[in-house]
């Protein structure tokens, strides 16, 4: 035990050593040699899983070979924010390219029943003051967020010149012309002075690589392509066509947690196949108080985003404006400090964080017991790992769904399903016959950038980004890579990760718009990071990442720790280890300083 822990387990009401041991046992059960390779790519025979089920009409148009100042790839929040900030900077000649039929990104694709944001909408949804909009609920539902995405597109005139239903197939730098050639699946070969790639972090569905994955003869789809023709209903629920159907769902992550209550309500039988239980905290959603909305002063949105970001980054604040499950764990840490058990050495802080985490997860496990009637079932639904090893979930209807007589939990004790057959799913050696299988198995995270983006990027001397990043991502501030002039990456890798992802996107969009605006205004043909500046940033990323190594090593496998294999490459491919607040300050100071340090400009 370390010095910060109370002397007896009686003071705590639990034994940290036995919990640590339990966490280790549960993690070890789930470690597997194939790590990220366990999943099947949704291409070839599985390409049908990514077809767009939401299109009303297929756009017919001529191939484009024209030229624009900026191409933004991706019409989700990353692309929209970049487009918005470019417009505000006065850049007129922008083309958004989006594979879906409209703006929205993750909220275009994820329309499964019950989809909603997990982070408070007054923090999560971007550009609220710019659009003079206050979300209708504390946690907004998918439809409202999709509508807001469209509203951003309208407000900033980003529909003009946009190419929807268009997938980029290749980016290639033409060094003589100082232009990017953007090729697409529509035969386009357009030219762009600058390119910003907002492909999204979690957009390429993955399937479990189990035996028989292609054998099922019933109906099947991934949660990010929900088939309402088959299930009936809408994102609000009401899946009436599932009457008389036996439905199986694989996965119990944040997505499954939101759609399982709707499946359980109307399917004749629902079988939930679980490998690792999620941590399910209180949701307590509520409509927005109109008086509160009317009282908001200019600047409220950024202030709330910053307040939340500080609290979830462990920086105590005078007031907790959001006051929910995300900020609660930090509140617990502050309470521990106030109780005088503080030791402010790095080891002391780590130990205090662990204690606060144990307390929080004990609360989560007690919540399962208080909701789920059957004790054995409740035990199977309890998560035994530290809260931030996996995405924490918040829901008030998920756990009660397991009290329904038509809902069965098949806990595979960390092993996952055995195989898929023509008739259903085999797990723990038992075959469950099903009419429909829903894959709530998530999205590719740890695979190569070009594979996830769906296109290769060829920079100077026709070098591919995949080759250049073969031993790990190489950037300055997560955005610019040497040899790939005028090309901006929008991602949390080597940047600032925060649980409210759009906050990071907003800061990165400010930065990219600042650089592009400067280049366009000053007739600068090329902007490129120097190898020295790039290497210095990589060194800092690796040095800072090491501090989190132990935490991730001890975590149950998941995409947060490269499926149980955090390693050298993960250090380099991680976010800035001192946190998002520090990262945002670094890039803000860089802009304020005004020398464009680390960049070279070419004519
Ligand atoms: P996840 O990757 O979080 O979950 C995938 C699930 O599939 C896990 O439960 C996983 O188990 C399970 N699984 C994978 N392979 C097998 C197998 N062979 N047998 C049985 N189970 C298997 O994907 P989600 O779509 O749930 O969520 C992805 C991310 O999207 C979230 O982490 C979050 O960042 C985001 N999200 C955000 C929401 C929001 O409100 N803002 C809502 C929903 C999602 P195991 O845990 O053991 O790997």
Q: How many CA atoms lie within 13 A of 38 on its CB side?
A: 25
| Per-residue pLDDT tens digits for 270-318 | 999 999 999 999 999 999 999 999 999 999 999 999 999 998 887 888 9
Is 206's C-beta closer than 6 angstroms to any atom of ligand 1?
Answer: no
Give the mean pLDDT of the chain. Answer: 93
Q: Summarize the confidence of residues 561-566 as an average pLDDT.
A: 80
Ligand 1 atom closest to the Cα of residue 445 is 2
Nearest CA to ligand 1 atom 12: 251
* CA dihedral sign, ordered 168, 491, 354, 326: negative
* Best residue among 253, 258, 262, 426 to mutate for probing ligand 1, ranked by most atoms within 8 Å of CB: 253
Closest CA to 325 of 559, 118, 125, 126: 118
Q: What is the pLDDT of residue 3?
A: 39
Write out the two tokens for 382: 């309890």
What is the 127 CA–ligand 1 centroid distance (Å)? 28
Write out the two tokens for 44: 């070839």
The domains found in the chain, sorted by start residue, are 1-30+207-284+324-442 (3.50.50.60), 67-204+445-595 (3.50.50.60)
Cβ atoms of residues 113 and 237 within 8 Å:
yes
Separation CA 98–CA 396 (nearest Å): 35
* Best residue among 29, 308, 391 to mutate for probing ligand 1, ranked by most atoms within 8 Å of CB: 391
479 pLDDT higher than 80: yes
499 pLDDT higher than 70: yes
| Per-residue pLDDT tens digits for 112-123 | 999 999 999 999
* Best residue among 40, 441, 445, 500 to mutate for probing ligand 1, ranked by most atoms within 8 Å of CB: 441
Nearest CA to ligand 1 atom 32: 391
Instruction: Provide the pLDDT confidence category of residue 235 given band limits of 50, 70 and 90.
Output: very high
What is the 493 CA–ligand 1 centroid distance (Å)? 20
Give the angle subtended at the CA of 460 by the CAs of 456 and 463, to the nearest 5°.
Answer: 45
| Per-residue pLDDT tens digits for 166-203 | 999 999 999 999 999 999 999 999 999 999 999 988 88
| Per-residue pLDDT tens digits for 137-161 | 999 999 999 999 999 999 999 999 9
Rounded alpha-carbon distances, angstroms, from residue 131 to 152, 293, 405: 7, 14, 46
Q: What is the pLDDT of residue 337?
A: 66
| Per-residue pLDDT tens digits for 314-362 | 788 899 999 998 888 777 766 766 666 667 777 777 788 888 889 999 9
């Amino acid at each position: 035990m370390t010095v910060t822990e109370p002397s007896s387990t009686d003071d705590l009401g639990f034994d940290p050593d036995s919990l640590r041991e339990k966490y280790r046992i549960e993690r070890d059960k789930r470690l597997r040699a194939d790590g990220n390779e366990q999943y099947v790519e949704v291409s070839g025979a599985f390409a049908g899983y990514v077809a767009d089920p939401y299109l009303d009409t297929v756009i017919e148009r001529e191939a484009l070979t024209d030229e624009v100042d900026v191409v933004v790839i991706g019409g989700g929040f990353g692309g929209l924010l970049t487009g918005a900030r470019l417009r505000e900077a006065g850049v007129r000649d922008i083309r958004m390219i989006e594979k879906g039929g409209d703006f929205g990104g993750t909220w275009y694709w994820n329309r499964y029943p019950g989809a909603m944001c997990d982070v408070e909408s007054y923090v999560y949804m971007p550009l609220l003051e710019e659009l003079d909009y206050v979300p209708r609920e504390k946690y907004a539902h998918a439809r409202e967020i999709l509508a807001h995405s469209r509203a951003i597109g309208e407000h900033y005139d980003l529909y003009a010149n946009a190419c929807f239903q268009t997938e980029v197939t290749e980016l290639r730098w033409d060094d003589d012309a100082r232009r990017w050639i953007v090729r697409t699946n529509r035969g386009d070969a357009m030219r762009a002075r600058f390119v910003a790639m907002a492909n999204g972090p979690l957009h390429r569905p993955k399937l479990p690589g189990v035996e028989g994955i292609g054998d099922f003869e019933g109906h099947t789809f991934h949660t990010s392509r929900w088939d309402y023709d088959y299930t009936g209903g809408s994102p609000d629920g009401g899946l009436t066509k599932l009457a008389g159907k036996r439905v199986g769902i694989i996965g119990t992550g944040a997505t499954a947690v939101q759609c399982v209550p709707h499946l359980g309500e109307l399917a004749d039988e629902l079988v939930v196949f679980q490998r690792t239980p999620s941590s399910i905290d209180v949701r307590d959603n509520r409509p927005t108080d109109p008086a509160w909305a009317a009282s908001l002063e200019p600047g409220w949105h950024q202030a709330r985003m910053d307040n939340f970001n500080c609290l979830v980054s462990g920086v105590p604040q005078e007031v907790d404006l959001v006051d929910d499950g995300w900020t609660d764990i930090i509140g617990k840490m502050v309470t521990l400090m106030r109780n005088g058990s503080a030791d402010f050495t790095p080891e002391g802080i780590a130990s205090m964080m662990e204690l606060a985490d144990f307390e929080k997860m004990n609360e989560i496990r007690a919540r399962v017991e208080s909701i789920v009637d059957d004790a054995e079932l409740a035990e199977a639904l309890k998560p035994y790992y530290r809260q931030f090893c996996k995405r924490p979930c918040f829901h008030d209807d998920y756990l009660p769904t397991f009290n329904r007589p038509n809902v069965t939990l098949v806990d595979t004790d960390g092993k996952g399903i055995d195989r898929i057959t023509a008739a259903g799913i085999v797990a723990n050696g038992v075959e469950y016959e099903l009419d429909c299988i829903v894959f709530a198995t998530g999205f590719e995270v740890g695979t190569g950038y070009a594979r996830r983006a769906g296109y290769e990027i060829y920079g100077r001397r026709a070098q591919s980004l995949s080759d250049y990043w073969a031993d790990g991502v190489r950037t300055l501030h997560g955005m610019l890579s040497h040899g790939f002039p005028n090309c901006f990456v929008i991602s949390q890798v080597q940047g600032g990760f925060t649980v409210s992802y759009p906050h990071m996107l907003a800061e990165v969009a400010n930065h990219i718009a600042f650089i592009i605006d400067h280049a366009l205004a000053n007739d600068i043909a090329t902007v490129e990071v120097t190898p020295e500046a790039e290497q210095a940033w990589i060194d800092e990323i690796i040095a800072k990442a090491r501090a989190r190594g132990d935490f991730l090593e001890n975590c149950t496998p998941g995409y947060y720790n490269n499926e149980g294999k955090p390693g050298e490459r993960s250090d380099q491919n991680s976010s800035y280890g001192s946190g998002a607040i520090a990262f945002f300050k670094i890039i803000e100071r860089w802009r304020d300083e005004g020398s464009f340090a680390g960049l070279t400009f070419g004519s």
